[in-house]
Amino acid sequence: MHKAVDEMGIQSTFRGYGPEQGYDFLREAVKGYYKKHNVDLELDEIFISGEYEKNGDGTKRYRRMAELKSVELVFERAKSDLGNILDLFAKDNTVLVPDPVYPVYVDTNIMAGREVQFIDANGENEFLPLPDKNVKADIIYICSPNNPTGAVYNKEQLKEWVDYAHKNKAIILFDSAYECFISDKNLPRSIYEIEGAKDCAIEFCSLSKTAGFTGTRCGYTIVPENLGNLNKMWVRRQTTKFNGVPYIVQRGAEAVFSEEGQKEIAENIAYYKENAKVISDTLTECGIWFTGGKHSPYIWLRCPNNMKSWEFFDYLLNNAQIVGTPGAGFGRNGEGYFRLTSFGSKENTKEAMKRFKNLFKA
Ligand code: PLP
C-alpha cells in the first residue's frame, strides 16, 4: 500500500478512475483464492467492490464542498453492493429473507418498495432454515456463516437451496462475508462449491472481517457469466454509477491474498477464535444455550431467565458493564436472544467473561 501511495504521487504511475470492475491484479488474486477452494471463476465474473453511499459520512471539508457546489454527496462503502444489486431486479420480484439476519437485506428491499417474505430461523432448525416448497420467491438471501447467529450451512443443506432456486427460477444472493472463519474443510466457504450454483447464485464477500478492511473498504461480488444478462447488467450498472475502488486500496487488498498476507490473517483469525472459545466455555459453564463461535466470530445466546433482548442488554450493562447486541434488532425471531462478539482484545474478553460468570454461574 505504501508503494502504491508513492506511485500515486508521480504523474507516470498515477491511477485515476476505473477500471470499474477492479484491476486485473486483484481479480486474479481473488480467482486464485477461490481456486484454492476448488471453485473456478472467470475474471469477468469478479467485480471488486467499494460503493457509493449517497449523503454518507464525509469529512467536514467535503461536506462543505458539496454544500457550495450544491451537488449530491457520495462516499465509498462496500456493504451497499448487497443493496445495489437490486437495481437489476424488477420491483414486483418477491424476496425471501431469513429471520433473524443481517438487517441490510430487509431494509434495502423495503426502501426499494419490494415485498419481503420471511423464513423462520429458530432453535428448532438450529437457525438454519431450509426451503419450504409452498413458498414462492424470486430473490433469496442466504448468509453463511450467519450474522448474527454464527450458524453455518453444510453442503447438503445449501444444495437444497440451490435446487429450490432452480425449481422456482429464483436467484440466491449469498453473503459469505465471514467465510474466512470456517475451519472445517467439509463446510462450504462459497456457494459455488455446490453443483449448479453458478446458474442461480450471486456471491458477496468482504475483506472487512477477513483482514480488518473496515477503514479501507474493499470487497468483491461474483456474478457468474451463466447468469447471462445479470452479468452484463451488473457491468452496466457499475460502469454507470461507480468509478472503481481506489488503486491504493486495491493494492492493499492484493496483499491480503499473498502468501504473507494469508499467514498474517490466519494468525488474526486464530486470535479471535480463542476469544470465541473463552466466551463459549463461559456460556457452557453457566448452562446458557448458544450457537456459533466455532466457524464464526459471533456467539448467539438465549437470554437467561427468559429475559427479553433489551432487558438482558440493560442487565449486563448495569450489573457487569458488558455491552453486546440485542437479538431483537435482527428480526422478530431474535427476541429473547443476544449476540456477543469475539472481535475484541483477549484481555477485555477474559475480563468480560469473568464478570459474566460472577453473574450467572449457578
Ligand atoms: N455482510 C454481513 C453479513 C455483515 O455482517 C457485514 C458487516 O457487518 C457486511 C456484509 C458488510 O461488509 P462491508 O464492511 O464490506 O461493507
- The closest-lying atom of ligand 1 relative to the alpha carbon of residue 206 is 15
Closest residue (by CA) to atom 1 of ligand 1? 177
Query: Residue 85 has which C-alpha cell?
Result: 444489486
**Would you say the CB of residue 102 lies under 6 angstroms from ligand 1?**
yes
* 179-236 residue pLDDT tens: 999 999 999 999 999 999 999 999 999 999 888 888 888 999 999 999 989 999 999 9
pLDDT of residue 214: 87
> 78 Cβ partners below 8 Å, 6+ apart?
49, 50, 51, 206, 208, 213, 217, 218, 219
Q: Which of 30, 81, 102, 213 to mutate to test the pocket of ligand 1 (most atoms within 8 A of CB)?
A: 102
Residues contacting 339, CB < 8 A, separation 6+ = 148, 298, 299, 300, 301, 324, 325, 326, 327, 330
Structure letter (DSSP) for residue 303:
P
Give percent above pLDDT 70 in the chain.
Answer: 92
| H-run or E-run covering 24 | helix 24-36
Q: In whole angstroms, how far apart are CA 63 and each of 51, 73, 267?
A: 18, 7, 39
CB 191 within 8 A of CB 174: yes
Q: From the CB of 209, is ligand 1 less than 6 Å away?
A: no
pLDDT confidence bin for 168, thresholds 50/70/90: very high
Ligand 1 in reach of 201 Cβ (< 6 A): no
Task: Write the pLDDT tens digit of every residue in 67-112.
Answer: 444 433 333 344 779 999 999 999 999 999 999 999 999 999 999 9
Query: For a substitution probing ligand 1, which of 53, 85, 104 has the most ligand atoms within 8 Å of its CB?
Result: 104
Backbone phi and psi for residue 201, each to the nearest 5 degrees, phi listed first: -135, 145
Helix, strand, or coil (residue 299): strand
Average pLDDT, the chain: 92
3 state DSSP class of 239? helix
How do residues 34-69 score in pLDDT, each as one tens digit? 999 999 999 999 999 875 444 443 334 344 444 444
Q: What is the CA radius of gyration of the chain?
A: 21
Q: What is the per-residue pLDDT for 51?
A: 54
Running DSSP on this structure, what letter comes out for residue 149?
T
Strands 171-175 and 325-326: unpaired
Ligand 1, atom 5, residue with closest C-alpha:
147
Angle at 339 between CA 98 and CA 208, to 5 degrees: 80
Closest CA to 76 of 244, 305, 294: 244
Distance 78 CA to ligand 1 centre (A): 8
H/E stretch holding 65 reads: helix 60-69
Question: CB of 291 within 8 A of CB of 126?
Answer: yes
- Name the residue at shortest CA distance from atom 16 of ligand 1: 79
Model confidence, pTM: 0.92
